[in-house]
Amino acid sequence: MTLNVESETEYEDLLSLWADLEAGLGVLLSSPYSVQEFIQRVGQYDRWMQTLLKRDTDTGLYLLFQLAAQSPVGYSASHALVCAVLAHLVGAELQIDPAERNAMVAATLTMNIGMTALQDELASQLEKPSPEQQAGIRGHTALGRQMLVELGVTDPLWLDIVGHHHDEIADDQPLATLTPVQRLARIVRTVDRYGAMISPRKSRAGRSATDSVRSIIQDSGEHSDEIGHAMIRAVGLCPPGTFVRLDNEEVAVVMRRSSKPNHPHVAIVLDEHGQMSGRPRLHRTAHGSPQIRAALAAAMVRVQLNHHLILRLGAYAAQKS
């Protein structure tokens, strides 16, 4: 289903829903012991996320990638939401059992609960982690699992995925041969790495989505690229909300995927000289030149976009394609 964003109000309402979801998740992760019915709240945020994605997956991805790339403020919640969306979409692509998917998404939302404040701190500092911070990083999986037990979580899959989401688990074996914990923890580890690569820190700009997914596939074991390829099928090599350079030197933002894999609909926003090209201009890369030459990190494109207008163009492109 393509979401109608004809009016500025409809766009603002949609943006507010995603922002409210991220803000609520931020409270959940930063003050978990103050949250009533913690487990139910995690499930509520999962359903909220799924509802928004069902309304329009491409628009959801566009807003997520744009918001995630804009600022490191509240990094922990932003990163958790991006990773949960990716885990959900990759899980659907890999036809993960629904009960396993629920445990995986709950684990993805809470995987860094043992280092929420530290994660936000690290995202906003220029210097390398101190020895104390490095100890916090090393211990956050065990601490996170312990905290979830204290918060009433009894689902062994949820707990074990959080406890093992940084383990390099049987990377030389096909996913189908692994136990549920091994399989799901590997998916979570992969989306965690991808989400971290594309997001900016004070100490570095985020990488392009294409560089990030290629790095994951190249660094993986013989069979781990199953997840990387599933992610490309689920969100595209250049997902909605990411920037690309075309082969005529113009710069565009990806709006929507098309029926032709890795030939998305884009909005051209900068001309070949790097100047604003007036109103964003629709281009369907599946229909011919110019073609995408390279993905760009968000930090390389310093321009204020009219997201409402771009999403309207995207909706028009989806209806006419």
pLDDT at 203 over 70: no
Residue pLDDT, tens place only, 44-66: 999 999 999 998 899 999 988 87
Q: What is the pLDDT of residue 71?
A: 55
**Domain locations in the chain as residue ranges:** 8-235, 243-320
Mean predicted lDDT score pLDDT of the chain: 86
Q: What is the pLDDT of residue 123?
A: 80
- What is the C-alpha to C-alpha distance for residues 170 and 186, in angstroms, rounded to an integer? 9
For residue 98, say if its preceding peptide bond is cis, omega within 30 degrees of 0: no
Question: Could you tell me where the DSSP H helices lie in the chain?
Answer: 8-30, 38-55, 57-70, 75-93, 98-110, 116-123, 131-150, 156-164, 180-198, 209-219, 225-235, 307-320
Residue pLDDT, tens place only, 133-187: 999 999 999 999 999 999 999 999 999 999 999 888 767 788 889 999 999 999 9
Q: Which residue do the tokens 């599933």 mark?
A: 230
> Counting Cβ atoms within 10 Å, is residue 73 exposed (0-12), middle (13-18) or buried (19+)?
exposed
pLDDT at 24 over 60: yes
Residue pLDDT, tens place only, 72-103: 457 889 889 999 999 999 999 999 999 999 99
pLDDT at 32 over 90: yes
Q: Which DSSP state fits 204?
A: B
Helix (H) or strand (E) holding 265: strand 265-270
Q: What is the pLDDT of residue 41?
A: 97
**CATH code, 8-235:** 1.10.3210.10
Max mean pLDDT among 121-125, 194-198, 199-203, 207-211 falls in 121-125
pLDDT at 281 over 80: yes
Q: Is the pTM of this model over 0.95?
A: no
DSSP characters over 67-88: HHHH--TTHHHHHHHHHHHHHH
Q: What is the pLDDT of residue 173?
A: 84
Cβ(147)–Cβ(32) below 8 Å: yes
